[in-house]
Structure 1
């Protein structure tokens, strides 16, 4: 086909100047019949490319499209090559065409599908396979007390569906733990997820809107491979679907207050609630939401084989008592790490104190709420049982329950060693309650021995607290009060002759 400028020249020379087709043809080096065609053509419609049927390629195109869509959900190293697809077509579908034809088709379709998926992420609300995330807050009953706890909601605007999980905080570890739980439960990863500018994810917003992500969130995104989007500051309406879903979840599932004894067990019940809710018709599309959710699923990315470690690591220096401060809470390590640096692994529910080789020194349940200090006694008791005199020169003496500090103060050095060994043996979960009862019971007739405390402890543990009174058959002489310490040895150093007197 000639260029527009050439066609205009031909029409001007023939129709305006009266030149012959042959003379213009010689001048332009074009066949006179072509000059005739363009000089007299009345319509200049765009010529549609004819699509010829291909008896060899047409039957396998749907198969190739399916394979390409499946592979685009995977990491590149797990995607099939055009050659591999060609081999599978030959082996399983009796394909008789050439490898070059398959290679060209796969290359073209991959480009088209990638472009289509890229366009589909904007606007987020209109396409399957996308999600929005935000936290809400609801009241819960915990040990007869009403407390507010955050819950993480992931909503799917296309199908009007959701999942949610309750956590003790809105920190980075809780956010990532919640996202990973949802990914793993539903067996896929949304292609695009829109967030508010949550502090667990965004460290800083630049002048031109660039986001500096927190290190852990950035690694989480790389691990799961989804595309993240953030709302403009103060524009919460840009994630309006999840904001509406946060209210829907609270009103329909979390009010009035749920009683929570174990948060992990409670969260297990929430999956079914979300899936039952999907049985209702979509508010706009007049289709049951579960059908639309299946379209969401078809567009998700595949899960990576390994889970992400939703934890952050840090180095902190212990004080002179071996205590470290994490997020303004105090956690014990061990006396041997006093004034030394230790490695800490922080998860949403645990604080693990580690050695340089990542061996666990001690594990704490992570503190939330008003409690400020977590003390694991075993590492300290082991040391103190070997050096009981040192206890009076440390703050640990004051951190024992007062019942035990009074008892230890009245003990000899050997008794202190035995008592501290007993505490190390019997103290479970750093709860002194049963040991306090045992000491009180054993002290009812004076200063008890370690064996007496141990006996009372196991009696209480086995609920054997009934003690029958012993009626003596013979008269027992009155035993004088015991004087603790060294004064009762004075009788051995009386003056000579006093015995005969």
Structure 2
């Protein structure tokens, strides 16, 4: 506005030319001409010159944005944003609404691709594309003491595990002071998962917070005893007694009362699985989650300018020292049926075939089942959360297969190992007895399936005509002999070596 006033004053009061004004003010002659033309058009209204000048000089200049081009938001950038919005729409149709990319995630992905663009520009384009306004919510900032409060919550995620869409549960802890986060994936929101994730969290941070905050989750609240009072579950009481912390329940439908973890569940879910949601197995998904959490804890926060790790280092000394790990499992006793399996939650788990008809003790954890007989561990199985599954190990049936070799080809035990099934069909079809002898040999010498596969590959790549059990045993036996300790010299071996040296000297 100052430039506008100088142009008009120098032109009409001082009588300077447009060229002189341009040189004196250091601006373009087009700008000088534009303001003089606007002022002259105002004089045509018939008002006195002084009145028009006063009104014109007191009005700030206006600019038209209609003809200005978009410098950063090019067509290529728009196509990238549209592709990410389309990906969000596909996730929404698949039921993955809680794993959609937000505007800040889209902006981060654009920056990772080397596209320099402002966050506001991205937000305005998406708002224009979607044609709707997002309502904003107000929050009240709280102050916390180091080591005082930690919040826990569950969140649902849907991942493709080995190509199959699987519904899983995300357990999340967030420290109120440092915003330090910890998360793990479980199959269900059950008591064992609730206890195990607490044990893992306290073991990682090396201490215990004074107060844990929960909502009205069924694994923490046993029942409501009043409008505002809840009775904790036996699992929560057991955790309280062992780790010696107090707890607090939020009011119903008041997620803001534990806003840190409420935000963390949504934040971790987006940052971990908004970009990648397909994994080969459950372990790979948990590893991906752990790496993402480590990266988030090492990222500077906007309000403090410090990372969660830096703030957590400050509150470590305020934590109560964690006691020894609490053992979390359920134990039941089951009878082994005629198929040498025990049944739990509609699924069957195998044990050694000589235990048919006997009772075994089963320790049940969230991921595994340990089976004992006479205080001796007889089997370990990964826990299945499907229905009517047979979790079988072929080693448990080798003694029965030795008596019934014809039962091998169509057995579930053989089908449970994809590698052994292919090995039998490729090289030992019709030779079930020999194949069973090979498996018994591997069990006796503690040879793993990986070691067996390595030897088989070595023999198949050699010029031998046919792969036999004897050749495999010979190679496995040679490998075992190479690992044996060297013989200790005795009197007989010493005398024999001396005689051989004397005989060699005579011959030479």
* TM-score, normalising length: structure 2: 0.52
Match of 2:364 in 1: 346
Query: Given the superposition, is the C-alpha separation of residues 176 and 401 from structure 1 closer, same or farther in structure 2, using an over 3 Å criterion?
Result: farther
Asked if the contact 1:434–1:460 (Cα under 8 Å) also holds between the matched residues in 2, the reply is no
| CA radius of gyration, larger in | 1
Offset of residue 183 of structure 1 = 1.7
Q: Does 1:462 align with 2:482?
A: no
Asked if the contact 1:434–1:457 (Cα under 8 Å) also holds between the matched residues in 2, the reply is no
The equivalences for 1:480-491 within 5 A come to: none
Match of 2:390 in 1: 373
The equivalences for 1:46-445 within 5 A come to: 126-129=144-147, 130-206=149-225, 209-215=229-235, 217-260=236-279, 261=281, 262-263=283-284, 265-277=287-299, 279-282=300-303, 292-304=311-323, 306-357=324-375, 359-369=376-386, 372-385=389-402, 388=403, 397=407, 401-402=409-410, 431-443=417-429
Three-state SS of the structure 2 residue aligned to 1:367 is coil
Offset of residue 235 of structure 1 = 4.2
Asked if the contact 2:171–2:186 (Cα under 8 Å) also holds between the matched residues in 1, the reply is yes
Deviations 1:47-81 (A, max 9, x none): xxxxxxxxxxxxxxxxxxxxxxxxxxxxxxxxxxx
Distance 2:377 2:330 in 1: 15
Offset of residue 234 of structure 1 = 4.5
Structure 1's unaligned 5+ residue stretches are: 1-122, 406-422, 471-501
Q: What count of residue pairs does the alignment treat as equivalent? A: 309
Query: Given the superposition, is the C-alpha separation of residues 189 and 401 from structure 1 closer, same or farther in structure 2, using an over 3 Å criterion?
Result: farther
Three-state SS of the structure 2 residue aligned to 1:240 is helix
Offset of residue 360 of structure 1 = 0.8
Asked if the contact 2:333–2:362 (Cα under 8 Å) also holds between the matched residues in 1, the reply is yes
Distance 2:171 2:302 in 1: 24
Deviations 1:121-149 (A, max 9, x none): xx997443211101113343433444343
Asked if the contact 1:192–1:227 (Cα under 8 Å) also holds between the matched residues in 2, the reply is yes
Asked if the contact 2:364–2:370 (Cα under 8 Å) also holds between the matched residues in 1, the reply is yes
Deviations 1:385-411 (A, max 9, x none): 3xx26x89xxxx5xx552x69xxxxxx
Which stretch shows the higher mean deviation, 170-179 or 123-132? 123-132
Distance 1:134 1:447 in 2: 56
Deviations 1:87-121 (A, max 9, x none): xxxxxxxxxxxxxxxxxxxxxxxxxxxxxxxxxxx
Offset of residue 307 of structure 1 = 1.6
Query: Given the superposition, is the C-alpha separation of residues 246 and 333 from structure 1 closer, same or farther in structure 2, using an over 3 Å criterion?
Result: same
Distance 1:370 1:210 in 2: 34
Distance 1:458 1:251 in 2: 41
Offset of residue 362 of structure 1 = 0.8
* TM-score, normalising length: structure 1: 0.52
> Root-mean-square deviation (CA), in Å?
3.9
Deviations 1:282-332 (A, max 9, x none): 2xx67765565445434321111x222122222233434342232332212
Deviations 1:416-438 (A, max 9, x none): xxxxxxx9xxx8x9515334433
Distance 1:189 1:378 in 2: 43
Asked if the contact 1:139–1:149 (Cα under 8 Å) also holds between the matched residues in 2, the reply is yes
Distance 2:178 2:297 in 1: 12
Offset of residue 174 of structure 1 = 2.5
Structure 2's unaligned 5+ residue stretches are: 1-140, 440-451, 467-508
Deviations 1:217-240 (A, max 9, x none): 432322211112223455444323
Distance 1:134 1:273 in 2: 21
Asked if the contact 1:349–1:365 (Cα under 8 Å) also holds between the matched residues in 2, the reply is yes
